[in-house]
């Protein structure tokens, strides 16, 4: 009979964790990204980087037209950190086609009517080059949601193929451009709210105004 510590089945995460090297072996497909799952992911990640997250309100929820077969969920999220507060409009997009410039411009343009101070876009798809350019101009934070194993393998944090037991099914990567103008994707780090704040136009103006 194998020792209990050698192989522990976690039904909640649908994985088997082997004691040697903390390797996670998937036994089922990744969980579906539903609007409810997306909201949980957003709150989890914003708290992880160091924000105090207030009561989240659903601003808009709708299905995307064909051929996307996805949805858009918009959340109004109160954020606080070090005595400062913000109201963020967080657009969660589950789609297959790349997110384009129009999405960024639409989210930014609707901030006054929400009302909100800043915008964040989480998406399960890539961001088009013109969307990244628009986000930089408008001060919108852009995050791509990818499966946890792929995110961890490309992070440089550990040996590819070996995963910690705490690794979630999905992780968001902050997508922007480096100082040379090249696109880059970085995992959000615990205690680093500046990774998102640096994207907000309102925060840039506050620091330099």
User: Which residue intervals of 50-117 are DSSP H helices?
Assistant: 101-109
Q: In this structure, are residues 122 and 98 in contact, taking their beta carbons and an 8 Å threshold? A: no
d(CA 182, CA 179): 8
What confidence tens digit (pLDDT) does each residue in 47-61 have? 999 999 999 999 999
d(CA 97, CA 95): 6
Q: Averaged over 127-146, what is the pLDDT? A: 95
How confident is the prediction for the chain on average, in pLDDT? 82
Work out the percent of the chain whose per-residue pLDDT is above 90: 61
Q: In this structure, are residues 138 and 119 in contact, taking their beta carbons and an 8 Å threshold? A: yes
Would you say residue 165 has pLDDT above 80? no
Q: Averaged over 16-39, what is the pLDDT? A: 63
CATH 3.40.1350.10 describes domain 31-208 = yes
Q: Could you tell me if residue 83 is left (phi over 0), alpha (psi between -120 and 50 degrees) or otherwise beta?
A: left
Would you say residue 147 has pLDDT above 80? yes
Q: Averaged over 34-58, what is the pLDDT? A: 97
d(CA 122, CA 100): 13
Would you say residue 20 has pLDDT above 80? no
Domain map (residue ranges) of the chain: 1-30, 31-208
Angle at 124 between CA 106 and CA 121, to 5 degrees: 35
Rounded CA Rg of the chain? 18
Q: What is the pLDDT of residue 7?
A: 31
Work out the percent of the chain whose per-residue pLDDT is above 70: 78
3-state SS, residue 140 = strand
Q: What is the pLDDT of residue 8?
A: 28
């Amino acid at each position: 009979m194998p020792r209990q510590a050698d192989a522990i089945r976690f039904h909640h995460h649908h994985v088997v964790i082997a004691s040697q090297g903390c390797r996670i072996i998937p036994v089922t497909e990744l969980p579906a990204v539903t609007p409810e799952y997306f909201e949980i992911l957003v709150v989890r990640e914003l708290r992880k980087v160091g924000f105090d997250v207030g009561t989240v309100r659903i601003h808009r929820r709708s299905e995307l037209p064909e051929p996307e077969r996805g949805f858009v969920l918009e959340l109004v999220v109160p954020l606080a950190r070090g005595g400062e507060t913000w109201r963020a409009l967080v657009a969660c997009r589950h789609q297959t086609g790349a997110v384009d410039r129009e999405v960024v411009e639409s989210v930014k343009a609707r901030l006054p009517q929400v009302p909100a101070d800043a915008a964040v876009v989480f998406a399960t798809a890539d961001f088009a080059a013109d969307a990244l350019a628009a986000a930089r101009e408008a001060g919108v934070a852009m995050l791509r949601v990818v499966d946890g194993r792929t995110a961890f393998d490309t992070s440089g944090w550990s040996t590819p193929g070996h995963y910690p037991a705490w690794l979630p099914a999905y992780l968001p990567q902050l997508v922007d451009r480096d100082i040379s103008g090249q696109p880059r994707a970085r995992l959000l780090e615990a205690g680093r709210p500046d990774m998102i704040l640096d994207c907000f136009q309102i925060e840039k103006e506050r620091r330099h105004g």
